[in-house]
Structure 1
Amino acid sequence: MKPAIAALSLMLPMTSLAADAKSAVPPPPVAAKKAVVDTYHGTKVEDPYQWLEKSDDPEVRKWVEGQTAHMRAVLDKLPSRDAIRARITTLMTHKSPAHFGLIQRGGVLFSMKFQPPQQQSMLVVLASPEDPSTARVLVNPMELDPSGRTTIDFFVPSLDGKKVAVSLSKDGTESGDVTVYDVATGKPLPGEVVPRVNGGTAGGDLTWNADGSGFFYTRYPRGEERPAADRDFYQQVYFHKLGTPTDKDTYELGKDAPRIANFKLSTSEDGTSVLATLGNGDGGEYALYLRGPKGTWTQLSKFEDKLIHAEFGKDGALYALSRKDAPRGKVLRIPLATPSLDKATVLIPEGKASIASFQPTATRLYVQEQLGGPSQMRMVGLDGKELGVVPTPPVSSVGGAVPLGGDDILMTNVSYTEPPTVYRYAAKDGSLTKTALGRTSPVDTRNVVVDRVMCTSKDGTQVPLNILHARGTKLNGNNPTLLTGYGGFNISLSPGLNVLNFAFIEQGGVVAVANLRGGSEFGEEWHTNGSLTKKQNVFDDFYACAKLLVDKKWTKPERLAIQGGSNGGLLMGAALTQHPEMFRTVLAFVGLYDMLRVELTPNGQFNTTEYGTVKDPEQFKALYAYSPYHQVKNGVKYPSVLFTSGENDPRVDPFHSRKMVARLQEATASKRPVLLRTNNMGHGMGTPLADSIEEKVDVYAFLFNELGMKYRPVDGKVASPAAK
């Protein structure tokens, strides 16, 4: 639903707003302190707000309602909300459709399609990437659920492209049941619904057999198979034959897997082999299993072998990405006729760039390589011969290759200032042709400059920082600046067009994106130096980036805001408790803040391979040292903070935000607002477009007000400061 476009207005004077708000805004409810002391390895830890962990407790619900009333009273009074809503709505409902998740099977091109103002993305089939008008909708969640609260988790077509299995979940839970659709008619096959294939803890996946008569899938415990506390764990692989009840599905793999197992599945092009990649929680440990033509499973690798990803080739081989003695990755070739690591040969040795993924085609591999945030697509023949790099702009990101037959592919390229563009790469002549599937931008970014600089962290490590600003921005130490980062789970913050960045830049702001340790920007060593007992490196990296922005006169602490979500929300908590003097305001989305009780939640147990566990003395010591909730100090002047959380979040329990807000409100001496915005969705996945818009209106109204930015009318172009 698209709100009416309101007239743009200037911000009211902050003094009159404060005077009016002071008399009208109800104070936040004071959280009761209840004496609780937990002991870890002889260390006593007070936890007076532990009672806020019980989401269904009436006392907790009353406190959350009071926080919501306080938050709404503060945010609803902020100036220029209507103008900000109009601008954000324009940006987020830009009519140009986005196509993603492309895959071709049996000559049929499948794609997810996001078409504002539709609330959810749809699954479509395309006759050609050159003509999006040929798109035929297969599954539209809005037709299944007009409320907009049902979403597609994933889809997998059969090898012949005649059927497609689709996981659907509601309310942000990510708890997805799989329905099978006939591609020709778009109708679901009668009775073909497999429950609880996907979840917010171990995820989910499936892959078809050769003739499309059934599929292998990830199965969570059902009914009374395990106690209630275990039903988000012990994921296994089962096989479902179409036309049979799901309680007759047959076990395939996983009985001996860890409690925190999660599987990814794929099938060879000829359907004779199935690959299962077993993940040990979220920390980056994997084991590979292969099901051969005789129907038996063989373990190809163990966690310590450091094979992290594999793809079937078209030449009777399996290609695997290994980090064994190669932290930036090497590619092995394993013959399917004799599937064993002993028979593996190195096709691509470790190089200067970090290998993120690859895609085999008829006679080559397309290798996606990380370059510290930006990425490129390198080509290597199946004989190991270097074939060059697909030409893409610097400081941009390439998506994975989508095979089209032979050695031709589709690939996506995007940068901080250019929207995602889908290209066809023709191997025969090396031509790169733009298809019609790319998105246009709702903003003119030609006057935006991207500076990529290096910051020196506490231990001397050089950390990349990408600074986006209007051409001619003066280094006067007074620019409102928004810094973001993530730093975890081997995830890279790669260049991408975030249109909301321009809602900030067009108001005279500067946006900075940090490539912190813990991610995948420079390979596994970069990741491990920001995980487990080395997690503090991530926070030191982020502080170094903030300090550079101040030292180089981009901004000053009074005009510096930071934002991050999930693991990036943890980063926000650590930043504001370790360096409260450095930031004016903090935007912390669905974050973790009590690092001593993370693992008491289902997904938190998967996180132990990334963060560590309090059961280990050294890991407890590291966790306690940076746990934001435990590092809040009474009487400190903390920045203003807006926390968001989702009541149905399967990844980060909303109790983290509740406890952190209660502790900060008790402790801060700054009189700056500490707000909690709770929604009734999840971690962000599946949130309806209209709900996303409303949240961003709150976020940006708060951000502009806290940084003292007067909102002014815009024409969609980012002007230089001199032209303002």
Structure 2
Amino acid sequence: MSRNNLSAPLALAALMMIPTAAQATDAAGTAAPAPALAYPVTERGNTVDPQFGVDVADPYRWLEDDVRVNPKVAAWVAEQNKVTDAYLATLPGRDAFRKRMTELYNYERFGLPTKAGTRYFYTRNDGLQPQAVLYVREGLKGEGRILIDPNTWAKDGATALGEWNPSEDGKHLLYSVQDGGTDWRIVRVKDVATGQDTSDEIRWVKFSSLDWAKDGSGFYYSRFPQPAEGAAFQSLNENHAVYFHKLGTPQSADTLIHATPDKPKLNHAAVVTDDGKYLLVVSSEGTDERFGLTLHPVKGGKPVVLVDDYANNWEYVTNEGSRFTFVTNKGAPRQRIVSFDIKKPATLTEVVGESEATLVGASRVGNRIILSYLGDAKSEARMVALDGKPIANIKLADIGSATGFGGKSADPETFYSFASYATPTTIYRLDTVTGKSEIFAQPKLTFDPRQFSVEQRFFKSKDGTEVPMFVVMKKGLDRSKGSPTLLYGYGGFNLSQVPGFSPTKLAWVDKGGILAVANIRGGGEYGKAWHDAGRLDKKQNVFDDFIAAGEYLIAEGITGKGQLAIEGGSNGGLLVGAVTNQRPDLFAAALPAVGVMDMLRFDRFTAGRYWVDDYGYPSKEGDFRTLLAYSPYHNIHGGKAYPAVLVTTADTDDRVVPGHSFKYTAELQHADVGAKPHLIRIETRAGHGSGKPTDKIIAEAADKYAFAAKWTGLSVK
């Protein structure tokens, strides 16, 4: 894992008044009279923080406490879930969505294979298993056998297989365990031949790459110091360090390879070079792609600092002796490939120049380099020689996203996946010598992807910037009138929103809704400039783009007033919260998930400190005033009719701690913002999203989309 992605309570006698009739809207958005929901009573404190001459009220500060530690918070969560569950049970489309999502999820799914020695390792889910199972084959055509089945680890299916990596010879498998959705990992080693775990176990690993020494004697990993008792899910993550673990030894004997105690905010990821002679440590302070590079000779010797200005992206591709090749945005906002000799790292030689498409990754496979691009947010792939000379474009199936292309310098074989909004992932095997692709694994489907259409539209934002958007609908849909539409966005951290298959979102489309995905600024669709235009003091552009997307959908007749729901998670949850405050009239329903809602305190918990690259520092006056202007928690103002809001979060989210969503919901329920429901759904034993079992994914999505259907007028049968 090279960088940290965003996208992580007074036992009161609450008066519970469960509604017998829910408020409804017609297609024009007219609210029918109905009793307002009675929310649990939430204690309001009198906390006020004076900041730069502004008295910032924070009446729900107590809701920041860990639900596992503070019984008041636990009681509040229980009371909120009771009201929410009762309301969701009244929604007519809930069971229909759950049934259809279950059907759409029930297909065989494969992960990208990794070759090690003569063995192939890959994940497979037979359809509705809570977690994917790791298999191994002896040879490409061998029979797959189960190596790790995480479904046996916990009765609720919430303990997941995290990162995994086989040793070079395929004799051992390094893997991590993720419990209840947390970012913390427990790392173990399995003997592949016997299927038995060795005695090796590593704890307090987070945001770490896992890479083997070439001789298989041990592996490199990154960890934080053990947190104080009871603080594991909220304390700041600092003093990341790289260690080497020799097989068969206790963790206490691990060798410290790289640490920066004078710079405790730096994170470090370690990668063993192709030739096995070096360990490359990639360091960064935040989420922005601004890295430092330190090269450690594996057989001992003084480390060499290659890059220490923390100004640009550097992604290792390969090396031939002392000449190293990287993807970088230095001198190329849409990225290029360069090489340099480690004795003269400042002298760059261009291997592949910047393109109109955005270069998003490169990997060496045999004597080829495969380049992955985004052209208007759609995947493209090209193959070049080691010197950058073009060889061929790799033909992809359609509008969609291709991922993978990993490999080794000694092997011309690679694998990649392709998926689109209506087409589940197919895995391909590519021979880089012949250039031929063949299917490795293709799912058998219970639906026909040809029933759905995918269009790419472009709309203009407030400042005239042209922004792309994908629109997905069922063919034959009556387009003479607007249709209930779900608009999804993210807009941050250089993360691109590319076409991909989601059974839950396809269920919305299958039931007659329209899905729109806006590629707003702040993402990486058009490189560094696109990202920079949506962060720090430019963050309002993100909200303007998303609002303009909604206005475009209405103006084009794709949807109508009162038919538009919005959704986003993590940084996208912030997006939904901010635009709901700014344009409550535009949306019928809002679905903010695991959102960053308090922009003045986000940097005080777990991974929050990394996000200053995108958000700025609340402790600096200029950034403070920018953040205060759009912070969802601080900008809920009474006197306006808000859309129906269903907030979702989880008790084990240690990426965006759930206190963000708790405080936002409490303020939303307190304010005079209309009679539509403003609820929160709090999942147990789940985190920021990864590792969530299939049944919980379906249950949550069915609740959210039934809620959106209710308030956009989508009739679900």
- When normalised by structure 1's length, the TM-score is 0.90
Q: How far does residue 313 in structure 1 lie from its aligned partner after superposition? A: 4.0
Question: Would you say 1:37 and 2:48 are equivalent positions?
Answer: yes
Question: Would you say 1:197 and 2:202 are equivalent positions?
Answer: no
**What is the one-letter code of the residue matched to 2:351?**
L
Q: How far does residue 224 in structure 1 lie from its aligned partner after superposition? A: 7.5
Quote the residue 2:158 is aligned against. Answer: 149
Question: Would you say 1:299 and 2:305 are equivalent positions?
Answer: yes
Quote the Cα distance in structure 1 between the aligned partners of 2:694 and 2:210.
28
**What is the one-letter code of the residue matched to 1:462?**
E
Task: Label 1:670 to 1:181 Cα distance change in 2 as closer, same or farther (>3 A).
Answer: same
Q: 1:184 aligns with which of 182, 185, 193?
A: 193
Q: 1:688 aligns with which of 678, 693, 702?
A: 693
Quote the Cα distance in structure 2 between the aligned partners of 1:593 and 1:342.
42
Quote the residue 1:7 is aligned against. Answer: none
Quote the residue 2:110 is aligned against. Answer: 98
* Greater mean deviation of Cα atoms: 227-236 or 382-391: 227-236
Matches within 5 A, 1:153-552: 153-189=162-198, 191-198=199-206, 203-222=207-226, 232-256=237-261, 258-296=263-301, 297-313=303-319, 317-335=323-341, 338-403=342-407, 406-435=411-440, 437-552=441-556
Q: How far does residue 557 in structure 1 lie from its aligned partner after superposition? A: 2.7
**What is the one-letter code of the residue matched to 1:427?**
T
Q: How far does residue 553 in structure 1 lie from its aligned partner after superposition? A: 0.9
Task: Label 1:217 to 1:452 Cα distance change in 2 as closer, same or farther (>3 A).
Answer: same
Q: How far does residue 230 in structure 1 lie from its aligned partner after superposition? A: 6.4
Q: 1:573 aligns with which of 565, 577, 583?
A: 577
Q: Could you give the per-residue CA deviations for residues 601-655 of structure 1, whole angstroms, max 9, x where no partner exists?
A: 1211111122111112111111111101111111210000110111110111111
Q: How far does residue 219 in structure 1 lie from its aligned partner after superposition? A: 2.1
Q: Is this contact kept in 2: 1:358–1:400, CA < 8 A?
A: no
Q: How far does residue 477 in structure 1 lie from its aligned partner after superposition? A: 4.5
Quote the residue 1:717 is aligned against. Answer: none
Q: 2:133 aligns with which of 122, 129, 132?
A: 122
Quote the Cα distance in structure 2 between the aligned partners of 1:442 and 1:562.
28
* Greater mean deviation of Cα atoms: 108-117 or 209-218: 108-117
Task: Label 1:22 to 1:127 Cα distance change in 2 as closer, same or farther (>3 A).
Answer: farther
Q: How far does residue 303 in structure 1 lie from its aligned partner after superposition? A: 3.9
Q: Is this contact kept in 1: 2:563–2:588, CA < 8 A?
A: yes
Q: Is this contact kept in 1: 2:37–2:675, CA < 8 A?
A: no
Quote the Cα distance in structure 2 between the aligned partners of 1:90 and 1:628.
36
The CA RMSD measured in Å over matched residues stands at: 2.7
Question: Would you say 1:89 and 2:95 are equivalent positions?
Answer: no
Q: Is this contact kept in 1: 2:485–2:516, CA < 8 A?
A: yes
Task: Label 1:16 to 1:255 Cα distance change in 2 as closer, same or farther (>3 A).
Answer: closer
Question: Would you say 1:704 and 2:698 are equivalent positions?
Answer: no
User: Does the residue aligned with 1:527 lie in a helix, a strand or coil?
Assistant: helix
Task: Label 1:27 to 1:223 Cα distance change in 2 as closer, same or farther (>3 A).
Answer: closer
Q: Could you give the per-residue CA deviations for residues 136-173 of structure 1, whole angstroms, max 9, x where no partner exists?
A: 22111122334322111201211221111111121111
**What is the one-letter code of the residue matched to 1:670?**
G
Q: Could you give the per-residue CA deviations for residues 193-216 of structure 1, whole angstroms, max 9, x where no partner exists?
A: 111222xxxx11221112111112
Q: How far does residue 394 in structure 1 lie from its aligned partner after superposition? A: 4.2
Q: Is this contact kept in 2: 1:197–1:205, CA < 8 A?
A: no
- When normalised by structure 2's length, the TM-score is 0.91
Matches within 5 A, 1:652-691: 652-680=656-684, 681-691=686-696
Quote the residue 2:18 is aligned against. Answer: none
User: Does the residue aligned with 1:247 lie in a helix, a strand or coil?
Assistant: helix
Q: Is this contact kept in 2: 1:477–1:550, CA < 8 A?
A: no
Q: Is this contact kept in 2: 1:418–1:441, CA < 8 A?
A: no
Question: Would you say 1:564 and 2:575 are equivalent positions?
Answer: no
Q: Is this contact kept in 1: 2:365–2:406, CA < 8 A?
A: no
Quote the residue 1:76 is aligned against. Answer: 89
Q: How far does residue 75 in structure 1 lie from its aligned partner after superposition? A: 0.6
Quote the Cα distance in structure 2 between the aligned partners of 1:353 and 1:113.
33
**What is the one-letter code of the residue matched to 1:123?**
L
Quote the Cα distance in structure 1 between the aligned partners of 2:526 and 2:202.
40
Q: Which has the higher contact order (CA 8 A, sep 6+)?
A: 2
Quote the Cα distance in structure 2 between the aligned partners of 1:660 and 1:146.
32
Quote the Cα distance in structure 1 between the aligned partners of 2:403 and 2:690.
20
Quote the Cα distance in structure 2 between the aligned partners of 1:534 and 1:114.
42
* Greater mean deviation of Cα atoms: 393-402 or 368-377: 393-402
Q: Is this contact kept in 1: 2:460–2:466, CA < 8 A?
A: yes
Quote the Cα distance in structure 2 between the aligned partners of 1:342 and 1:119.
49
Q: How far does residue 270 in structure 1 lie from its aligned partner after superposition? A: 3.4
Q: Unaligned regions of 5+ residues in structure 1, if any?
A: 1-11, 713-724
Task: Label 1:256 to 1:51 Cα distance change in 2 as closer, same or farther (>3 A).
Answer: closer
Q: How far does residue 129 in structure 1 lie from its aligned partner after superposition? A: 5.3
Q: Is this contact kept in 1: 2:110–2:427, CA < 8 A?
A: no
Task: Label 1:600 to 1:304 Cα distance change in 2 as closer, same or farther (>3 A).
Answer: closer
Quote the Cα distance in structure 2 between the aligned partners of 1:272 and 1:315.
9
Quote the Cα distance in structure 1 between the aligned partners of 2:193 and 2:32.
61
Q: Is this contact kept in 1: 2:25–2:713, CA < 8 A?
A: no
Q: Is this contact kept in 1: 2:236–2:606, CA < 8 A?
A: no
Q: How far does residue 367 in structure 1 lie from its aligned partner after superposition? A: 0.4
Question: Would you say 1:61 and 2:70 are equivalent positions?
Answer: no
**What is the one-letter code of the residue matched to 1:75?**
L
User: Does the residue aligned with 2:634 lie in a helix, a strand or coil?
Assistant: helix
User: Does the residue aligned with 2:599 lie in a helix, a strand or coil?
Assistant: coil
Q: Is this contact kept in 1: 2:23–2:33, CA < 8 A?
A: no
Q: Is this contact kept in 2: 1:26–1:69, CA < 8 A?
A: no
* Greater mean deviation of Cα atoms: 139-148 or 669-678: 139-148
User: Does the residue aligned with 1:656 lie in a helix, a strand or coil?
Assistant: helix
User: Does the residue aligned with 1:342 lie in a helix, a strand or coil?
Assistant: coil
**What is the one-letter code of the residue matched to 2:677?**
P
Quote the Cα distance in structure 2 between the aligned partners of 1:544 and 1:21.
31
Q: How far does residue 80 in structure 1 lie from its aligned partner after superposition? A: 4.2
Q: Could you give the per-residue CA deviations for residues 557-595 of structure 1, whole angstroms, max 9, x where no partner exists?
A: 300001111111011101110110000001111111110
Task: Label 1:59 to 1:294 Cα distance change in 2 as closer, same or farther (>3 A).
Answer: closer
Task: Label 1:626 to 1:410 Cα distance change in 2 as closer, same or farther (>3 A).
Answer: same
**What is the one-letter code of the residue matched to 1:39?**
P
Task: Label 1:394 to 1:693 Cα distance change in 2 as closer, same or farther (>3 A).
Answer: closer
Task: Label 1:16 to 1:432 Cα distance change in 2 as closer, same or farther (>3 A).
Answer: closer
Indicate the percent of aligned positions where both proteins have the same amino acid: 34
Q: Is this contact kept in 2: 1:409–1:426, CA < 8 A?
A: yes
Question: Would you say 1:596 and 2:600 are equivalent positions?
Answer: yes
Q: Is this contact kept in 2: 1:488–1:567, CA < 8 A?
A: yes
Quote the Cα distance in structure 2 between the aligned partners of 1:450 and 1:129.
34
User: Does the residue aligned with 1:557 lie in a helix, a strand or coil?
Assistant: coil
Q: How far does residue 232 in structure 1 lie from its aligned partner after superposition? A: 2.8
**What is the one-letter code of the residue matched to 2:646?**
L
Q: Could you give the per-residue CA deviations for residues 22-62 of structure 1, whole angstroms, max 9, x where no partner exists?
A: 78x97211323222211222222122222222234333333
Quote the residue 1:720 is aligned against. Answer: none
Quote the Cα distance in structure 1 between the aligned partners of 2:645 and 2:311.
44
Quote the Cα distance in structure 1 between the aligned partners of 2:631 and 2:391.
48
Quote the Cα distance in structure 1 between the aligned partners of 2:488 and 2:559.
15
Task: Label 1:242 to 1:72 Cα distance change in 2 as closer, same or farther (>3 A).
Answer: same
Quote the Cα distance in structure 1 between the aligned partners of 2:585 and 2:209.
45
Q: Is this contact kept in 2: 1:604–1:652, CA < 8 A?
A: yes
Quote the Cα distance in structure 2 between the aligned partners of 1:420 and 1:682.
25
Q: Is this contact kept in 2: 1:368–1:400, CA < 8 A?
A: no
Question: Would you say 1:621 and 2:625 are equivalent positions?
Answer: yes
Quote the Cα distance in structure 1 between the aligned partners of 2:648 and 2:123.
28
